[in-house]
Amino acid sequence: MPARSRPKNRRPADRPRGGVPRAAGERLQKVLAAAGIGSRRQCEELITAGRVEVDRRVVTELGTKVEPARQEIRLDGVPLPKAKLVCYAVNKPPGVVSTSRDPSGRPRVVDLVPAAGARLFCIGRLDLSSEGLILVTNDGELANRLTHPRYGVPKTYRVLVAGRPNQQVLAGLRRGVRLAEGLARVEQVRVKSRQKESTVLEMVLREGRNREIRRVLARVGHKVLRLVRIAVGPVRLGDLPPGGCRRLSGEELQALRRAAGRVESG
């Protein structure tokens, strides 16, 4: 049998050429272009020429992702100004999308935030029909921690369902419901009120599967009629009107970071 060729030395997946770990942020050339350095193509040429540094290391690979609010980016030794970290609570109405881009031109959650010039994105998603609290930020690290299953930050929902789920059904939700991608478990569920043909439930989840609440309730025979997220960790929707937004207070941010395993100020 022919001898196997030795595998070539490879860089770790999270460390591209130039020595800077990949971040869950924006492409470096896009950040430079947004700062007014030049066109996207011109910024790419600056990177490949070795004129751009991230955290004092020269970056030459196109596509390197950075978080401009947390990393120091230099062009020819001159630092780009850092963006100030911000986080807003938004009460998403139904019919508004939580994606950053929508080819259909539908209204977006980020359009509800009056933060001129800031590159904002939603932390997690609510589907088109769902309502309630969604956080909008430019803090990529905080967003990652709030959405990653490892940190298990609880999200609380108020859900109107068809029918009157009994205690056996509620216990089954706590034990877990089998979905295509695995077992989905509701950490807490309780009845808030009952009507003749419907029930209001309060549910707490620590996962973030696509349309998870709708799917698990459908599996136990109760269609979701309305779904409103009322809290993300310690941050609550409160009396924020539909379509309204407010900037999180310092105390709320500290509590949110503690819930996500971070205590430093932003």
Report, as residue numbers or ranges, the catalytic residues: 127
Q: Using CB atoms within 10 A of its CB, is residue 14 exposed (0-12), middle (13-18) or buried (19+)?
A: exposed
Tell me the C-alpha distance between 8 and 63, whole Å: 22
Q: Which residues of 145-164 are buried (b: 16+ CB within 10 A; e: fewer)?
A: bbbeeeeebebbbbbbbebe
8-state DSSP, 99: S
Query: How open is the CA angle 35-125-140, to the nearest 5 degrees?
Result: 35
User: In this structure, are residues 80 and 74 in contact, taking their beta carbons and an 8 Å threshold?
Assistant: yes
Secondary structure (DSSP) of 188-232: EEEEEEE-SSEEEEEEEES---TTHHHHHHHHTT--EEEEEEEEE
Secondary structure (DSSP) of 83-95: PPP-EEEEEEPTT
Tell me the C-alpha distance between 102 and 83, whole Å: 25
Q: Which residues contact 210 (CB under 8 A, 6 or more apart)?
A: 127
DSSP-derived pairing of the beta strands 224-232 and 235-236: antiparallel
